Structure 1
């Protein structure tokens, strides 16, 4: 009997000692990771703010192929929520949103040891055109949790860091893929009405064209604002001369105005007039880097339709939205116009008989 009594006291001492030991271990945790993504801040923010995007960038499906996501009627912004079933059921609700800055969320996890309710937080900081995004979670381990981690060998903090980085890189992948999307639509012959425009003319190598173009547009816009002038449409570029041999372009960056403007003597900015013209119109939705594709499709259409290019008129591009206001390059709209003879084709009898 004494042996059993000693064993009982020994076990009791071990249990009490273990409880004291694990009870004195740090319970609170705050685990976070940061990652810089070369993309506009609002694109990153939107991927986190909309729970329907989480299953596309999150690492959970890789770890649990049985997981099923369920979305509430509201799944975006404050009050938005979603839940899931799988090896471990759970749900999440967004409790606070500061656009492009911060998101706070309540997480509920049904673990074998009971329900756990940590807090999730996100922060977004713009860094020279890129975005530093931080994903973190804080909460408190129960005594059961601490015992389980100790004896199972599970590295809770290490696993959380791995999950965070996997998710952050998943956001990067999906956002960068979104930014690469583009489409080209040759709409056919369009009649452009023409009109007055303020412009600056310069030359540049093709490789430097977009950078120089942006600077010139800034000068023209500054002139318009300085003199309180009203524009009559979206900015455009006129290609005055293209030298394919040496890869140089003479071009004019322009802003349409309602009437002829007499610019001050000595000013580099002049007022011109674009004549009404018939042109093959091609719409690029996407980054300007895809403009070559737009031009190739337009030229292919011209050839297939036996159209004749009007070389007396210049090719021009209209920028239908402002990249400063539309951060996703996949949403940029450019209209390309190649002047043609509307009623004269290369297979016309007058031409073919020559």
Structure 2
């Protein structure tokens, strides 16, 4: 028994010694990792810039059990914020600086361990060189945990490498997996909606839509309004020669809603019209191809576009329903004039058989 007691005391003293040693060490850390992502730089940047996408490639997040993410109305760009709760602790991250297609600076906090995170994106042979650079200071508990795992530098370096590898595989598959189907002529119904209208350059359309839709959804939740349909975008002006677009991001309502004049959103009526429906299943980067196929169908079928109507994109399934871009669903509606059916001339019989007591009817070519 004495031997067991001595062994226990020795183990206890060793643990105390290790703990004292670890806690007296500096908690500072700095780690960097780079990898080649086989996707164009703008696509990689946009994907990383939106926190809602991190669930698909962040290996450090996937290890957490029962993890729950909380997103505010802004999840991309400067000021974007995300927090999470899990069995292993809580954390949050916020974006403080963004240089488009070049770099991102963020601050993260997990169980009181704070860190600065820097992303850089550079064009290179075969795709985009992405570098993650993190530095910060550990709290006491994290220092002890990392000591028994071989040190925080090795742990973070391994997690960064796995995340970059998963980012590459995700983008490689998700960006290339898509389908486009021209559904045919349909009728868009009437109703009411709440909308926000902006003007921008063509290259900024996708980014602005991704920013405004979450804000509109948040507006509905904040004001206890019920959505009567999926968010959609109505294009009012799309001038390629002048590189100018005016669009309205809209969400249908069950009835007309009256909004204060000081608000940047307004209410509007949805006018019914005849249109050509086209469905894109996949990432928004294929939207231009979907529009091109739809317009080719119109030309091939001899249809005429109704330029007085509204050109619309309806976001049936988005990142809020499914994280994989290959499963997003977007419907495109191009206003067209109904194709007039040509009346066929009546077939005139070569002989009319009647009884002698009945008058002979006079054949009519167009009854």
- In the other structure, the counterpart of 1:228 is 224
SS of 1:229's partner is coil
Match of 1:174 in 2: 169
Normalising by structure 1, we get a TM-score of 0.53
Residue equivalent to 1:200: 196
Of 324, 333, 345, the match for 1:337:
333
How far has the Cα of 1:172 moved from its partner? 4.5
Residues 1:43 and 2:39 are matched in the alignment: no
Alignment of 1:273 with 2:240, yes or no, is: no
Using the TM superposition, name which of 33-42 and 212-221 deviates more: 33-42
Instruction: Verify the 8 A CA contact 2:257 2:267 in the aligned structure 1.
Output: yes
Q: Which of 212, 215, 240 does residue 211 from structure 2 map onto?
A: 215
**RMSD over aligned Cα atoms:** 4.5
Gaps of 5+ in 1: 1-32, 50-95, 102-124, 133-137, 140-162, 350-354
How far apart are the structure 2 equivalents of 1:215 and 1:45? 22
User: What's the CA shift for 1:182?
Assistant: 1.7
| 1:98 is aligned to 2:65 | yes
Number of residue pairs matched?
A: 231
Q: Distance in 2 between matches of 1:216 and 1:169?
A: 28
Query: How far off is 1:344 after superposition?
Result: 3.6
Matches within 5 A, 1:261-300: 261-300=257-296
| 2:58–2:163 contact (8 Å) kept in structure 1 | no
Q: Retained in 2: the 8 A contact 1:317–1:334?
A: yes
- Over 3 Å counting, the alpha-carbon distance change for 1:285 and 1:240 in structure 2 is same
- Unpaired segments of 5 or more residues in structure 2? 1-31, 38-43, 69-90, 96-103, 105-118, 120-129, 133-147, 150-157, 345-367
Per the TM alignment, residue 175 of structure 1 is displaced from its structure 2 partner at its CA by: 1.9
Contact 2:200 2:246 in 1 (8 A): yes
Partner residue in 2 for 1:246? 242
Alpha-carbon distance change, 168 to 238 in structure 1, aligned in 2, over 3 angstroms = closer
Does 1:316 pair with 2:312? yes
Does the 8 Å contact 1:280/1:340 carry over to 2?
yes
Deviates more, 1:266-275 or 1:218-227: 218-227
Q: What is the rounded CA distance, in whole Å, between the counterparts of 1:323 and 1:205 in structure 2?
A: 24
Alpha-carbon distance change, 211 to 173 in structure 1, aligned in 2, over 3 angstroms = closer
Provide the C-alpha distance between the structure 2 equivalents of 1:227 and 1:288, rounded to a whole number of angstroms: 29
Q: In the aligned structure 2, how far is the partner of 1:165 from the partner of 1:197?
A: 44
